[in-house]
Amino acid sequence: MKILVLESSGLVASVAVVTEEKLIGEYTTNFKKTHSQTLLPMMDTLLKMIGIPVQEMDAIAVSGGPGSFTGLRIGSATAKGLGLALSIPIISVPTVDAIAYNLCGTDAVVCPLMDARRNQTYTGLYTFDGDQMKCISGQKAVMLGEIIDEINQLGRKVIFLGDGVPVFKPYIEEHIQVPHSYAPIHLTQQRAGALGALALQYYHEGKYESAAEHQPDYLRLSQAERELAAKKGQEKA
């Protein structure tokens, strides 16, 4: 079982190939280039480096959202194109779940924080039993204060990670009431390797779909859609 993994939900671009036994290769970058510039060249470079043609892949795993609307569309379109061309399934892994899986094995509650702007975050709460991740609170788009209140009510130590940490850290430090820490830099953001490891579990649980069926999950309307809805509301008024 070989899975090609694509991660483009945030600033990070990450590509990996995983099997049941190991992470064969992973290529991750985190600098300001668009995923339309980086994702396919990174995939091509990685496959050439490990000597496995894309035709040998059994499935495509992709970060299914939420995240950057543009980034998700690029990842989704790439996965759909490959899936259709190769006639292989797509494993759509929720972005927040995949970020949490970076910390597989910890005894703390894991809280990914993605910066969704306007003081909102894409987040969730997770724990681990060995390599099995358990969801306390599924991925959602909420105001930062809501997830901090939820954590305080749990009363358990928590580890924060994600691109929202630098943005939200001052608020966290002021309002958190439980023991807490932050993931180290090599584990704090999206990684195709973690997404691929979780995708293997999804695949064996039957959580995959055809390329034609796949659509990203944005969790909320885009800015253009929000503005259009507001304009229509004003016109009705």
Percent of the chain with pLDDT over 70: 92
Count how many domains the chain has. Answer: 2
**Residue 35 — pLDDT band, cuts 50, 70, 90?**
confident
Phi, psi at residue 51, to the nearest 5°?
70, 30
Task: Confirm whether 127 is domain-assigned.
Answer: yes
For residues 213 and 200, membership in a common domain is answered with yes
User: Taking 80 as the threshold, does the pLDDT of residue 234 lie above it?
Assistant: no
- In this structure, is residue 231 part of a structural domain? no
> What is the pLDDT at residue 36?
85
What average pLDDT score do residues 189-199 get? 97
- Mean pLDDT, rounded, for 121-138: 95
CATH number at residue 150: 3.30.420.40
Mean pLDDT, residues 53-82 taken together: 95
Residues 195-216 have a mean pLDDT of 95
Tens of pLDDT, residue by residue over 166-182, are 999 999 999 999 999 99
Position 195 in a domain: yes
Predicted confidence (pLDDT) per residue in 73-103, tens digit: 999 999 999 999 999 999 999 999 999 999 9
- pLDDT-based confidence at residue 118 (cuts at 50, 70, 90): confident
pLDDT at 33 over 90: no
pLDDT exceeds cutoff 60 at 228? no
What range does the domain containing 162 cover?
96-182
Give me the mean pLDDT over the 30-39 stretch: 84
- By DSSP bridging, strand 13-19 and strand 2-7 are antiparallel
Distance CA 76, CA 61 (A): 10
Pick the closest to residue 63 from 204, 202, 226, 206 (CA basis): 202
* Predicted local confidence at residue 221, as pLDDT: 53
Q: Please indicate, yes or no, whether residues 196 and 177 belong to a single structural domain of this protein.
A: no
Label residue 220 by pLDDT band (50, 70, 90): low
Do 105 and 161 fall into the same domain? yes
